[in-house]
Amino acid sequence: MITLLIGKKGSGKTKKLIEHANEAVVKSSGNVVVIEKGLKLTYDISHKARLIDTDAYAISGADAMFGFVSGICAGNYDVTDIFIDSTLKIIGQDIAALEKLVAKLKVLAESANTTITLSVSAGEEELPEALVALAK
pLDDT in tens, 4-35: 999 898 888 999 999 999 999 999 999 999 99
Structure confidence at residue 124 (pLDDT): 87
Structure confidence at residue 3 (pLDDT): 93
DSSP secondary structure code for residue 121 in this structure: E
Q: Which of 63, 59, 21 is nearest to 42 (CA)?
A: 21
Whether 98 has a pLDDT exceeding 70, the answer reads yes
CATH assignment of 2-132, among 3.40.50.720, 3.90.1570.10, 3.20.20.100, 3.40.50.300: 3.40.50.300
- Cα 89 vs. chain centroid, distance in angstroms? 12
pLDDT in tens, 42-94: 889 999 999 999 999 999 999 999 999 999 999 988 999 999 999 999 999 88
